[in-house]
């Protein structure tokens, strides 16, 4: 099978996905060995925190106030350990992102950076409720020279519409993901594209206690996406899917 060539504007991602590990080390003032230890234990510590402190009534407070730096380590380990998967996700962004882009729940910012590097993208709105993630991605943007192309906010700016919306590893963390889809539909421009993924599963050993898996909620989600969006084919072997408005 022929490997997909990486466009020049994404070639700087490299094996470290836009220098992620060095950014983590410098931003958190950690030596390399300590960072490796924290990356290795990040998912387990976040899972333990979720099993102890998470509930759906205060889920926003959990992600805003309690996860702290743990999300940087958990997401960092996933991105660094899943190079081929993340690379294909960035290629999909490179194919479809244009104009005004919203990265909803932008996390550690790798997808925001990829979108901002696309020549056809005018501006990226990075939206996340975790203040530490904001500080980290702002630091990353400055290191790469993209701080003038990325706007930071904790909520979607009112009365703003988007040519592209990206939302990775977020919907399963929401108590009502179908409602979020409807908001996306409202703010997506008529010819816009939306790139999503989801993981409505708490894990075989309950390692994801903060993931939604209620059958009724999940059914409503799929009914909502099928009645409002039409899937747009892409060739990459990833869970992310691309859509345009159905109506």
Q: Please check the confidence at residue 3 and state whether its pLDDT lies above 70.
A: no
Mean pLDDT of the chain: 92
User: What is the rounded average pLDDT of the residues 97-101?
Assistant: 98
Q: Distance between CA 18 and CA 11 in Å, rounded? A: 9
Q: Residue 191 — very low, low, confident or very high, per pLDDT cuts 50/70/90?
A: very high
User: What is the rounded average pLDDT of the residues 53-58?
Assistant: 87
pLDDT in tens, 118-167: 999 999 999 999 999 999 999 999 999 999 999 999 999 998 999 999 99
The CATH classification number of 12-245 equals 3.40.50.150
Calculate the CA dihedral of residues 7, 9, 13, 14 and round it to 10 degrees.
Answer: 60
- Its pTM stands at 0.94
* Residue whose C-alpha is closest to residue 48's, from 74, 30, 17: 74
Which of the pair, 22 or 58, is modelled with greater confidence?
22
Q: Where are the domains of the chain?
A: 12-245
Give pLDDT, residue 14.
60
Cβ pair 102, 166 in contact under 8 A? yes
Share of the chain above pLDDT 90, in %: 75
Burial of 2 (0-12, 13-18, 19+ CB in 10 A): exposed
Give pLDDT, residue 2.
47
User: What is the rounded average pLDDT of the residues 215-236?
Assistant: 97
Lowest model confidence (mean pLDDT) among 9-13, 77-81, 219-223, 229-233: 9-13
């Amino acid at each position: 099978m022929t490997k997909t060539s990486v466009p020049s504007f994404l070639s700087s991602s490299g094996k470290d996905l836009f220098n992620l590990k060095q950014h983590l080390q410098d931003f958190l003032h950690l030596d390399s060995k300590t960072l490796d230890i924290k990356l290795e234990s990040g998912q387990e510590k976040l899972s333990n925190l979720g099993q102890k402190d998470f509930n759906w009534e205060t889920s926003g407070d959990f992600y805003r106030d309690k996860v702290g730096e743990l999300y940087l380590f958990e997401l960092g380990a996933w991105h660094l350990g899943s190079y081929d998967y993340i690379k294909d996700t960035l290629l999909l962004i490179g194919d479809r992102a244009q104009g005004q882009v919203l990265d909803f729940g932008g996390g550690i910012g790798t997808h925001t950076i990829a979108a901002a590097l696309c020549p056809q993208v005018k501006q990226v709105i990075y939206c996340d409720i975790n203040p530490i993630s904001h500080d980290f991605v702002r630091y990353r943007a400055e290191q790469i020279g993209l701080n003038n192309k990325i706007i930071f906010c904790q909520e979607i700016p009112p009365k703003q519409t988007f040519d592209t919306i990206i939302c990775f590893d977020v919907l399963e963390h929401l108590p009502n993901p179908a409602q979020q889809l409807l908001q996306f539909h409202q703010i997506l421009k008529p010819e816009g594209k939306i790139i999503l993924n989801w993981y409505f599963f708490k894990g075989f050993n309950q390692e994801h206690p903060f993931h939604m898996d209620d059958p009724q909620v999940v059914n409503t989600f799929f009914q909502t996406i099928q009645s409002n969006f039409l899937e747009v084919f892409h060739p990459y072997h990833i869970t992310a899917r691309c859509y345009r408005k159905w109506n």
